[in-house]
Structure 1
């Protein structure tokens, strides 16, 4: 059985830990409000961007020489996976969910005879895949966590992906990230960026009787060349915002659980401490009484 001194030291240590986890919970909650607002505000824009490009692509369907960001390279051999995680830990299973889904996707693609390349975003993703699949990493991005995520990060990442696509090094590009649902729930998913997946119904809009007829100025090909790289950056930026909101939500939940667990541990150890102290007092009284009787 531990001594009273050891129990006091352990209780003090857990109390200090509880103060830290409680402070981290409040900080994550404060950051979550802004991150959640940013992620929710970006969703309609990203969705509208995909839909608009889907209608524009439908108008140019069947034409030769479609941009690679729209139609891909025409092959399906080399897949680029871009897992998005945080730079820091202490957020429960937030990062491990992305790691797990990415590993499952790698195994599935490799079993189909495909070549896989990785472009991890976030220090946690880089460290994990450096241990698991260092030979598959073609590039990486870290330093994405912070109070605000600048669009320049998404712009630079989009340029890297565009370079790989245009150079013929990659045929398909897919994002793997956590979509923010609420503070307790983040859903890991894969979103294919290249070739671009049409929004549901966008390709059939021209077939309906009441569909609008569009005239493009300048021509459709010029618009696609201008908008496709921008759309790639917008989709990446929206995923980064989802990741930031999910990270803060997961960290707030994890720190809340840690604070509660610390409180339960303190209560349990306090009971053990009181019982041990009472036992020691009782033993000392017995020794005094026994000594007095012997005299």
Structure 2
């Protein structure tokens, strides 16, 4: 059994750690409120934009998509892995890395064997991991330092330009979708080529009765909306990941604080028992000494 001095040192160490985890939980909670507000405002906008684009794209010619809807044999793939810059968020980052590795081993096994899978890492954790293992496209470790649409747009434009130039035949995103503080869902979504709209019959019939006036033209509007929609999709995924990160860190730090409290209870109990045993031994020694002294008389 450790002596009392060692136990006191462990109690002080665990107490300091508990204060740190409690402070990190409070910081994550404050950041989560802002991040949650941002994604809640973005979701309706992104959904509405996709709905307008789907309505306008129905019945349009194939070349109206500006090349973003071109279906090819998938030989080269770009995977956009969205993680955080920091750890201490439970399995938040490892789930993304695990999912990307599964994609490379299962869905894109043939492409990976031929070196046809590239990674665009948004977030330092993904950049550090995949930078040691494969080819990285661009450097976007700075995105979360000052998160805005402009910082994400550069990544979207690089992916879009690579697809149009034939460098990639398919572009997919892997990110954590924010559900609530305790739950984050790993999503794998295809960004390019854009998928044809699949609307319910009721929605299509309702839209058929609507009389649109296009200015300047339907084709030009669609060609303008598609790049904007693609950038919004990636920006929304980054906002989802940002909110998920703070939720995961808040949950992890809350659990760490609870575990530290339980450990403190166990250490204090051990310390008190050791202290009582030491006091009992001292009393026994005094009593034994007194009895020996009395016997010697």
| TM-score, scaled to structure 1 | 0.91
Distance 1:185 1:172 in 2: 29
Contact 2:111/2:117 (8 A) holds in 1: no
Corresponding residue number in structure 2 for 1:138: 137
Distance 2:264 2:117 in 1: 49
Q: Does 1:151 align with 2:149?
A: yes
Measure how far apart 1:202 and its partner are. Answer: 7.2
Corresponding residue number in structure 2 for 1:72: 70
Contact 1:50/1:199 (8 A) holds in 2: no
Measure how far apart 1:141 and its partner are. Answer: 0.9
Q: Does 1:275 align with 2:276?
A: no
Distance 1:200 1:32 in 2: 34
Measure how far apart 1:54 and its partner are. Answer: 1.7
Corresponding residue number in structure 2 for 1:119: 120
Could you tell which deviates more after superposition, 86-95 or 122-131? Answer: 122-131
Corresponding residue number in structure 2 for 1:201: 199
Distance 2:178 2:14 in 1: 31
Q: Structure 1 residues 138 and 59, CA, compared in 2 at 3 Å: closer, same or farther? A: same
Corresponding residue number in structure 2 for 1:171: 169
Contact 1:205/1:211 (8 A) holds in 2: no
Q: Structure 1 residues 209 and 282, CA, compared in 2 at 3 Å: closer, same or farther? A: closer
Secondary structure of 2:142's match? Answer: coil
Larger radius of gyration: 2
Distance 1:7 1:73 in 2: 66
Could you tell which deviates more after superposition, 255-264 or 71-80? Answer: 71-80
Contact 2:65/2:226 (8 A) holds in 1: no
Distance 1:46 1:229 in 2: 13
Equivalent positions of 1:37-48 (< 5 A) are 37-48=37-48
Contact 2:64/2:219 (8 A) holds in 1: no
Cα RMSD, aligned residues only: 2.1
Corresponding residue number in structure 1 for 2:247: 249
| TM-score, scaled to structure 2 | 0.90
Unaligned runs of 5+ in 1: none
Q: How many residues align?
A: 290
Measure how far apart 1:159 and its partner are. Answer: 1.4
Distance 2:212 2:256 in 1: 56
Secondary structure of 1:145's match? Answer: helix
Q: Structure 1 residues 188 and 144, CA, compared in 2 at 3 Å: closer, same or farther? A: same
Could you tell which deviates more after superposition, 109-118 or 14-23? Answer: 109-118
Secondary structure of 1:226's match? Answer: helix
Corresponding residue number in structure 1 for 2:231: 233
Distance 1:29 1:36 in 2: 10
Corresponding residue number in structure 2 for 1:93: 91
Corresponding residue number in structure 2 for 1:16: 16
Contact 2:181/2:251 (8 A) holds in 1: yes
Distance 1:65 1:57 in 2: 8
Unaligned runs of 5+ in 2: none
Contact 1:81/1:119 (8 A) holds in 2: yes
Q: Structure 1 residues 20 and 291, CA, compared in 2 at 3 Å: closer, same or farther? A: same
Could you tell which deviates more after superposition, 206-215 or 255-264? Answer: 206-215
Distance 2:213 2:277 in 1: 89
